[in-house]
Amino acid sequence: MASTTNEVLYELPGFKFIRLYKDGKFERLIGTQVVPASTDPETGVQSKDVVISSETGVGTRLYIPKTTNPGQKLPLLVYFHGGAFVIETAYSALYHNYLNSLVAEANVVVASIDYRRAPEHLLPVAYDDSWAGVKWVASHFNGGGDEEWLKEYADFERVYFAGDSAGANIAHNMAIRVGSGGLDGINLVGIVLVHPYFWGKDPIGSEDISKKEMVDKLWAFVNSETSGSDDPLFNPVMDPKLPNLGCAKVLVCVAEKDLLRDRGWHYHKSLGKSGWGGVRDIMEAQEEDHVFHLFKPTCENALVMLKKIASFMNQDKT
Mean pLDDT computed over 260-265: 98
More reliable by pLDDT, 70 or 251: 251
Q: Is 290 a catalytic residue?
A: yes
Distances in Å between the alpha carbon of 23 and those of 1, 19, 28, 119, 241?
A: 12, 12, 15, 15, 42
Catalytic residue among 114, 164, 231, 258: 258
Q: What percent of the chain has pLDDT over 90?
A: 84
Q: For 9-54, write each residue's pLDDT tens digit.
A: 667 667 788 888 888 788 898 889 999 999 999 999 999 999 999 9
Catalytic residue among 81, 165, 229, 266: 165
Q: For 152-161, write each residue's pLDDT tens digit.
A: 999 999 999 9
Q: For 189-226, write each residue's pLDDT tens digit.
A: 999 999 999 999 999 999 998 899 989 999 999 998 99
**Residues 135, 130: Cα–Cα separation, whole Å:** 9
188 and 247 Cβ atoms separated by less than 8 Å: yes
pLDDT at 318 over 50: no
How many Å is the Cα radius of gyration of the chain?
Answer: 19
What topology is assigned to 33-312 in CATH? Rossmann fold (3.40.50)
Q: Is 180 a catalytic residue?
A: no
**Residues 250, 29: Cα–Cα separation, whole Å:** 33
pLDDT at 172 over 50: yes
Q: For 273-311, write each residue's pLDDT tens digit.
A: 999 999 999 999 999 999 999 999 999 999 999 999 999
What does pLDDT average to over the chain? 94
Tell me, what DSSP letter sits at residue 211? G
Q: What is the pLDDT of residue 20?
A: 82
Q: What is the pLDDT of residue 26?
A: 84
- Sorted by where each begins, the domain ranges of the chain are 1-30, 33-312
